[in-house]
Each structure stands twice: as C-alpha cells, then as structure tokens.
Amino acid sequence: MEIHIDRGSAVPIYLQICQGLREMIVTGKLPEGFRLPPERRLAQALGVNRSTVLAAYRELKADALVDAHVGRGTSVLARPLPSHGDPGVVPLAWRQLFSEVGGALEDPLLRDLLELSERHDVISLSVGLPARELLPLETLRAVNEELLSEVGPAMLLHSPSEGITPFRATLVDLATTRGITCSLPEVIVVSGSQQGLDLVARVLVQPGDAVVVEEPSFFGALQVFRAARARLLGVPVDGDGLRTDALESLLARYRPKLIYTLPTFQNPSGVVMSLERRRQLLELAHHYQIPILEDDPYSELRYEGTPPPSLKALDAHGYVIYLSSFSKVLFPGLRLGWVVAPRPVARQLVLAKQAVDLHSSTLGQWWLDRFVRAGHLARHVVQVRQAYAARRDVMDEALRSFASTSLTWQRPTGGFYFWCRLAEGMSHTRLLARAAERRVSFLPGAACFFAEGGEDHIRLNFTFPGPEEIREGVCRLGEALRTVASSVHQRGSHGGTPPIV
C-alpha cells in the first residue's frame, strides 16, 4: 500500500492519507472487504501520529467508503455505483473542498449526543439537558395566548440583531439579580450559549492566537476554539477551580488573546471556583490585559450553599464578557442565551451576529420576556432545584450501590453532572463498548480535554433521566464496569497487553 505524503503541502496530512486511500478504493485496488491496517501500524509506517490516521479513517467512513467495528478493524465497503451510468466518474471528494474553518469541524460528538436524546431505547447519562417532564408547558400555553392577543403579528416578524428591546431590558434586570451592573447597549441576545461562544471567537480570536481553557472544560467550547484555529493552553482545575498559580506563567510567556472559564458548577467537574481564586484571576487578567469569557449556564441550579459572586459582578474594570443561557433551566429548544459585554465588544458581536443568523428567534424572545417578567422563571427555578437535587441524590446512592468499586466521585453542589474517576487500569474506550451493549451512554472524559488526558474519567448527567431511569442506567453502567474490570484483572494476571480498540 503506497501513500505519498507531501509534508510541504498546505493540504493537511490526514487528508492526503484519506485521498490516497480513496483513490485505491474507487479504482478497485483495495477491493470490497479489504481490511485496512490498524491505525497505529499505518501511523508507524507513514511516520505520523495515530490520531492523524484515525482522522483519515473517519473521513473515509463519513464518505461511506469504509466501515469500522470494534474488534474487527476498518474494512472497505462495496464500491459505490457510478453516477449516470458513466464508469469513469469518480465520487466527488467533498471534504477536500471544505474551507479551513469547515475542515476543523471534525468531531461529531455534540451532534451524536443530541441525537441520543431522541432515542427511547437508550438511557442517556451523557446529554446535558433539563428534564422534559418538568418543562412548564401549561404556563407556556397561557403566556402564548396572552402574547397573541397583545403583541400579535409582531411576534413573528424580524427583530433587531441585538434582540428585542423589552427582552433586553428584562435581561438587564436579571443580570442585576446576579450582582451584575450593566446597561441596555451592553446586552445582546444570542441563539444559545454555543452561538455566544462562536461570536466571541469570531470577534476576538485570529488563527494562531492563544486561548486559555480549563482542563477539563466544556467540549462545545473546545470545538468552537478549534474551529477558530486557536492555539489552546490548558490550565488544570482542582477543588477550588482554575489554578491561578499555573495560569500566571502561561500569561507571562504566551500573552493569550482570551481566558475562557466556567467558574460556577464547572462543566464537567462541577467545581465552584473559590472567591479567592476569582479575585486572583481578575488581578492576573488586569495585570496582563487579557479579557475573560465567563460562561455561566448553571449558577441558578445550586442545591446547597451559595456560590461566590460571578466574575462579571466582581470586575470593576470591564475585562469580563459574561455569557449565560436559558437552555439548562428552561426550553432548550428555543436556543436563547445572552451576553453582557463592554460596549466596544458588544457592537462587534452584533455585527458578527448579523452575518451569521441576522437575529435570534423573535417569537422565543417575546415568550421568554413575558415568562421572566411574570415571575414564572423564578418559580420554575425553585421547582427544578428541588427536583434536580433529589435526582442528584438518587444518582449518588445508585453509584454507591452499583459502581463504588470502579468509580470515585465528589457529590456536586449544583449543576448537571457527576465527574467520576475510573479505577486504575480501566479504559473508557472499553467501557463505552460494554455500556453500549447494555444501552446506556455516558460522556468520555477525553472529550473535555483539547489534547491528551481524561481517559480515566467519565461524565454522568442526572437531570435529563428520571429517578428510575437513573437507577437503571447506573445499574447497567455498573454491569459494564464489572465486565471491564474483570478483563483488566485477567490481563494483569496473564501479563498481556490491552488490545487496540
């Protein structure tokens, strides 16, 4: 198998490998059923990283040229029939035509997790969604009828890119309840916090710029910064949040463009950054003149104690861009979030948003504006706090019953997740396969690291499944853990090496 790699080419190496294999497949040199070399073996032969070969195999799989099965490797599928009866036409290599930004979007994890939420045959402990059965549909129906009679067709027309004025005024008031002082021009409505992340990256980050992220961190944010071609700098998180002692040397050496943090009920770890660390972080940002993007989707979901003030509330010098969302508490399908940013940044974010989607859902903004103003949101938050605290306790108890020999964890005081460490020697790759056989899903910890790490952790959600589903899901996960632990013990007894999965 001859694959030529031009290391001086602008075409990424994984795409060169993909194209070489593609040509051999479509020309018949690699027949149907041919088993491609394992990623590690081909990587050694070509002198590249295993992840590069893995990316090439993913491209081929996405084009339906190969298929991969655990334990059987990657094999060539039946050659696609030529279009229009012309045997000389080769399938168009769409992925090689993608732009640099499009080509950076290689990880389908977020899409796959959202798809899992629709499946009724899988107990999902992986998705970060609120409970469906707790959504206040009757209240929404009543609010909708009020708005139809009072606002009428305006609910269904275009609206300003920064959001409708009444809703933004409501958000100013909501920010005030969180200790944040801001004015109307500083508030922008976005299509969920994911768009807020994307807009900030578009406005502030150029390819090659350094961005500081926590390790672990929200995988959706890592995806955004990768797409922006940022150079990510990881700072570890401990029980008090982002380690400011490790941060300072990075700031001095690399002068990054942005610091991204989830200081309150961090995703995935659930950690709350201490007040002392928050002040240290702000002092460092002020000293090195680096803006902070504070992502705060979970602060309303506290089950005990009182979290410290937000970074935005503590910042007296306009260094913090504050991002929040309604998706974790209420109606995630509306895709509405909000940003509070210094006026120069806010203006640029609005211009960037105009180019992306013109404006967020007008109907959704009118709904949420009335919902918040009428006090429905505050009452709903009280209800879900109680329900989620109970579900958290159900998961804690289930983990103690079914998984305590294979996992360690800290009971979270808020948010959505348990961040669990696997017993020594266990692989989340094997665990994924065993859990899938039992129709239960979790988020692998490696998804929350931008380079290496996290293989010894998994993230479990306790808000989306009901109490009985949580018990059953953790029971199934416990069975999968015991199966993997047994195989680890057997390998250790025989001195063997783990297979490549």
Q: What is the pLDDT of residues 45-69, one digit of tens each?
A: 888 888 888 888 888 887 778 888 7
| Whole-angstrom distance, CA of residue 337 vs CA of residue 419 | 25
Which residues are within 8 A (CB) of 457 and not within 5 positions of it... i.e. 6 or more apart?
216, 268, 419, 420, 421, 422, 428, 444, 445, 448
Radius of gyration of the chain (CA): 24
pLDDT of res. 117: 55
CA distance 347 to 43: 47
Residue 118 pLDDT: 65
Q: How far apart are CA 465 and CA 468, in angstroms?
A: 8
Residue 339: beta bridge partners? 188, 323
Lowest mean pLDDT among 8-22, 222-236, 301-315: 8-22
CATH code for the structural domain at 143-374 = 3.40.640.10
95 has a pLDDT exceeding 80: no
* pLDDT tens digits for range 172-215: 999 999 999 999 999 999 999 999 999 999 999 999 999 999 99
Residues contacting 95, CB < 8 A, separation 6+: 15, 18, 59, 62, 63, 103
Residue partners of 380: CB distance under 8 A and separation at least 6: 136, 139, 329, 330
Bridge-based pairing state of the strands 187-190 and 337-340: antiparallel
- What's residue 33's pLDDT? 85
Tokens 């290599």, residue located: 93
Does the pLDDT of residue 78 top 90, yes or no?
no
For the chain, the structural domain boundaries read 13-97, 109-133+379-494, 143-374
User: Does the model's pTM come out above 0.75?
Assistant: yes
In angstroms, rounded to a whole number, what is the distance separating the alpha carbons of residues 255 and 413? 34
Higher pLDDT, 487 or 476: 476
Burial 368-403 (b: 16+ CB within 10 A, else e): bbbbbbeebbeebeeebbebbbebbebbbebbeebb
Percentage of residues in the chain with pLDDT exceeding 90? 67
User: For position 497, what pLDDT does the model report?
Assistant: 38
Q: Which positions ≥6 away from 210 have C-beta within 8 Å?
A: 230, 231, 232, 233, 254, 255, 256, 257
| Sign of the CA dihedral with 433 first, then 438, 440, and 445 last | negative
Query: What does the pLDDT read at residue 417?
Result: 98
Alpha-carbon gap, residue 105 to 110, rounded angstroms: 11
Q: Is the pLDDT of residue 489 over 80?
A: no
Alpha-helix residue ranges (DSSP H) falling in 63-121 = 100-103, 109-116
Residues 250-262 have pLDDT tens digits of 999 999 999 999 9
pLDDT in tens, 426-442: 877 789 888 988 999 99
Helices (H) and strands (E) in the chain — how many of each? 17, 16
Its CATH architecture, for the domain 109-133+379-494, is: Alpha-Beta Complex (3.90)
Question: Which backbone phi and psi does 52 adopt, to 5 degrees?
Answer: -65, -45
Determine if the peptide bond prior to 332 is cis (ω within 30°): no
Q: What is the pLDDT of residue 376?
A: 96
Mean pLDDT calculated for residue range 382-386:
97
What is the rounded average pLDDT for all residues in the chain?
A: 89
Q: pLDDT digit string (tens) for 96-145? A: 666 655 545 555 555 555 565 566 788 999 999 999 999 999 999 999 99
Q: What is the pLDDT of residues 389-422, one digit of tens each?
A: 999 999 999 999 999 999 999 999 999 999 999 9
pLDDT level of residue 32 (50, 70, 90 thresholds)? confident
Using DSSP bridges, classify how beta strands 241-242 and 231-238 pair: parallel, antiparallel or unpaired.
antiparallel
According to the CATH classification, is domain 13-97 in 1.10.10.10? yes
pLDDT band at 498 (very low <50, low <70, confident <90, very high): very low
Determine contact, residues 410/455, Cβ cutoff 8 Å: no
Alpha-carbon distance of 212 to 259, in angstroms, equals 5
Q: Bridge partners of 75? A: 35, 67
Q: Is the pLDDT of residue 460 over 60?
A: yes
Res 84 pLDDT > 80: no
Q: Which whole number is the average pLDDT over 254-273?
A: 97
Q: Where does the pLDDT of residue 452 fall: very low under 50, low under 70, confident under 90, or very high at 90 and above? A: confident
